[in-house]
Amino acid sequence: MKWTVNQQEIDLSCRGMIMGILNVTPDSFSDGGQFLDTATAVKHALSLEAQGAQIIDIGGESTRPGALAVDEEEELRRVVPVIRALRECSQVLISIDTSKAAVAAQALQAGADIINDVTALTGDPAMMQVARSSQAGIVLMHMQGEPRTMQVSPHYQDVEAEVTRFLADHIQTCVDSGIARERLVVDPGIGFGKTLAHNATLLKNLGNLSALDRPLLIGVSRKSFLGRLTGGEKVEDRFWSGVAVTSLGREKGARIFRVHDPKPHDDALRMTEAILG
């Protein structure tokens, strides 16, 4: 269970990782508008790192349901200065959350280490070449549809089988294109074109994704389905249920956890790992 990022081999066999979320957007669902200027964004990134995040995932375009698209120039304006400034003061792994090839390329030049693409490198025809020509770690995520319409009417015959097949196919596409398998991480895309029942089924059966033989990333932090399951209507009411999913996910084999609040998730992760031995 090893992941190669910029020629660095990360052993995830016994110890998972926390990926801290940094949205430099005005419209993300829980923290939009909070970290728009570079200094504030970098300060928050360093806080996330101090709380236990080993990866900072920086995004300049919201992918919440119904979010409006952002043009390339604006996305670059939002993320590149933050990546460059963070790299100057920290060696934390930096992930660029984008589906645009030009944004990924410039983010890597500015100091990013990982491409986290919600379209699994398919949203931009040039993204595969950017990924292939780098040594970056790659996160391949499943999504049915696209962010603006994905929650309108998601439908599957068998959500687990279809998500697994999608990820397996995209792993193979990457390998056939010259991207080493060891650079790849997979994400089932909880909340991306899935109903409440679909999300619950995927979380219940996370262990079955181990057949893909790649580290598994999950991101459920503050998502609305947590509130629908627990009765919490506000974003802050989804906090502890998300922490619970981190513990459950690690027990079922997930290794990377994308979260807004690293400290409690890191505590839950390390306690679970201690119990697992």
Strand ranges for 155-262 from DSSP E: 184-187, 217-218, 256-259
Closest by alpha carbon to 24, among 15, 33, 11, 14?
33
Q: Which helix (H) or strand (E) holds 140?
A: strand 137-141
Question: Catalytic site residue 258?
Answer: yes
Task: State the amino acid at position 243 in one-letter form.
Answer: V
Contact 181, 222 (CB under 8 A): no
Tokens representing 242? 């998300």
CA distance 77 to 82: 9
What are the CA-CA distances from residue 101 to residues 123, 141, 150 (Å)?
A: 9, 16, 22
Tokens representing 213? 């033989």
The residue from 223, 238, 250, 255 that is catalytic is 223
- What does DSSP say about strands 217-218 and 256-259: parallel, antiparallel, or unpaired? parallel
The residue from 100, 238, 250, 258 that is catalytic is 258
Closest by alpha carbon to 243, among 227, 224, 267, 207?
267
CA distance 45 to 174: 30
Question: Catalytic site residue 223?
Answer: yes
Residues serving a catalytic function are 223, 258
